């Protein structure tokens, strides 16, 4: 079976049993002929129903060792950069706290500069203004080995948004847990 949309005519259990390990979500859509003269189709239902199908990585891409090597290298480099960036941000906040300085808000620019301080120099645009000060502060704070960030700009931009969301969610959860602990102590 080729990878694609699952129609209502196919047996879902047969499709799920034949596919493998990696989660890929596909739409379950029903099409109906809109006009027999034009041959256009419209959806009967909005595409808000998903079914997760597990596929091995090898079934999504053609079996080329070069493609797999490139993707694995990009995933590995991204993982190193984001993990070190989390550590660096934590170190930065703790350094500000222990030196009795005001802890600034962590924004996407802050995360991007922490990532940039962990990468080798590139030919892209150089940071200016407040971002340059943040970059210099991060570079003085760590002695991590520098990673190669070549061709990762779009991925790291997406990860900076993901990281800011994770940090905000962590703060919200920790704050509610602290409130619950305090109120239980008072009772």
User: In terms of domains, do 79 and 109 share one?
Assistant: yes
> Binning pLDDT at 50, 70 and 90, where does residue 45 land?
low
Per residue in 112-165, pLDDT tens?
999 999 999 888 888 999 999 999 999 999 998 999 999 999 999 999 999 999
pLDDT of the residue at 5? 43
Residue 81 lies in a domain: yes
Q: Are 24 and 53 in contact (CB under 8 A)?
A: yes
Q: How many domains are contained in the chain?
A: 2
Residue 173 lies in a domain: yes
User: In terms of domains, do 53 and 74 share one?
Assistant: no
Residue 20 lies in a domain: yes
User: In terms of domains, do 138 and 160 share one?
Assistant: yes
- Based on the number of CB atoms within 10 Å of its own CB, is 142 exposed (0-12), middle (13-18) or buried (19 or more)? middle
pLDDT of the residue at 101? 94
Residue 171 lies in a domain: yes
The DSSP call for residue 29 is: -
What percentage of the chain reaches a pLDDT higher than 70? Answer: 71
pLDDT of the residue at 74? 93
Q: Are 71 and 116 in contact (CB under 8 A)?
A: no
Between residues 57 and 174, the one the model is more confident about: 174
Residue 42 lies in a domain: yes
User: In terms of domains, do 89 and 71 share one?
Assistant: yes
DSSP string across 83-140: HHHHHHHHHHHHHHHHTT---PPP-HHHHHHHHHHTB---SSPPP-THHHHHHHHHHH
Q: Are 169 and 147 in contact (CB under 8 A)?
A: no
The boundaries of the domain holding residue 45 are: 12-60
Q: Kindly state the average pLDDT of the residues 59-78.
A: 84
User: In terms of domains, do 99 and 125 share one?
Assistant: yes
Token pair, residue 179, equals 């409130």
> Binning pLDDT at 50, 70 and 90, where does residue 55 land?
confident
Residue 4 lies in a domain: no
Burial 11-26 (b: 16+ CB within 10 A, else e): eeeeeeeebeeeeeee
Residue 34 has pLDDT above 50, yes or no: no
């Amino acid at each position: 079976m080729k990878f694609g949309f699952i129609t209502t005519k196919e047996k879902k259990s047969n499709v799920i049993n034949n596919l493998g390990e990696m989660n890929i979500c596909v739409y379950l859509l029903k099409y109906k002929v809109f006009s027999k003269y034009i041959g256009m189709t419209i959806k009967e239902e909005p595409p808000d129903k998903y079914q997760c199908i597990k596929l091995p990585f090898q079934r999504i891409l053609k079996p080329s060792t070069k493609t797999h090597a490139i993707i694995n290298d990009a995933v590995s480099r991204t993982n190193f950069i984001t993990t070190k960036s989390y550590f660096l941000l934590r170190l930065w906040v703790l350094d500000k706290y222990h030196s009795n300085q005001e802890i600034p808000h962590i924004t996407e620019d802050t995360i991007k500069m922490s990532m940039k301080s962990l990468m080798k120099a590139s030919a892209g645009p150089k940071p200016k203004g407040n971002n340059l000060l943040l970059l210099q502060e991060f570079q003085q704070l760590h002695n991590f080995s520098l990673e190669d960030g070549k061709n990762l700009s779009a991925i790291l931009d997406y990860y900076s948004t993901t990281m800011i969301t994770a940090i905000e969610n962590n703060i919200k959860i920790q704050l509610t847990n602290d409130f619950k602990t305090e109120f239980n102590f008072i009772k």
